Amino acid sequence: MNYDLSAPARRDIKGLTAAIESAEDAASLQARLSVPRYGVFDLAGRARRSPIIGGLLLAGTALDQNGKPTKPLQVLETIPELDPVDPDAGAVAAQLSELSHGDLVTVRFSDGAYGDFGVTGIAVWSVPGTTFLVGGWLIGSAGAPAPRVTELVRLAPVGDHPWPVPAQITVVGEDIGID
């Protein structure tokens, strides 16, 4: 199974701005984001309008600043509500044990603050903590699934999908700004 992670050749800023403005609180949305650390990934779930930052959030990720799309945001669309997932820690652990850096995955999370949401993208391996992440969200560490993960599906192993694979994370300082 392959999943389309194509980013548009050119961002439609006016279209993204209109989508952000028209999105209702608790709407089911899917956002395609592109960041160098994690590549292109889709984030799907219920969006929230934050009274604190004054913008639209999806799984804690800001989609706009002052009504303008954030730079990582490539596509924003309304989707049907995500189907519920029955968590199966054993199935997640089995999938995690077979995971490799660069695999195309879809991961479902359940978080008290952000609700249930999904991330589809490239699994990125990190030396610190021997962890796997997708779109910045922790899949598992030292072979154990992250507590918020409710489902992990490997859509395609590295080499069997056409999407660019981000570099492994080898230094913590790269992510938090210390050398």
Point out which residues pair with 105 in neighbouring strands: 121, 154
What is the predicted pLDDT for the residue at 2? Answer: 55
What is the distance between the alpha carbons of residues 5 and 33, in angstroms, rounded to a whole number? 10
The answer to whether the beta carbons of residues 74 and 11 sit under 8 Å apart is: yes
What is the distance between the alpha carbons of residues 79 and 90, in angstroms, rounded to a whole number? 29
Look at residues 24, 26, 30, 36 and name the one whose alpha carbon lies nearest to residue 4.
30
DSSP string, 98-120: T--TT-EEEEEEEETTTEEEEEE
The whole-number mean pLDDT for each consecutive block of 10 residues of the chain, a chain of 179 residues, reads: 82 96 93 96 95 90 94 96 91 95 97 94 89 96 94 96 93 51
- This prediction's pTM: 0.92
What is the predicted pLDDT for the residue at 58? Answer: 96
What is the distance between the alpha carbons of residues 77 and 108, in angstroms, rounded to a whole number? 19
CA-to-CA dists, residue 148 to 33, 75, 95, 117, 133, angstroms: 21, 25, 15, 10, 12
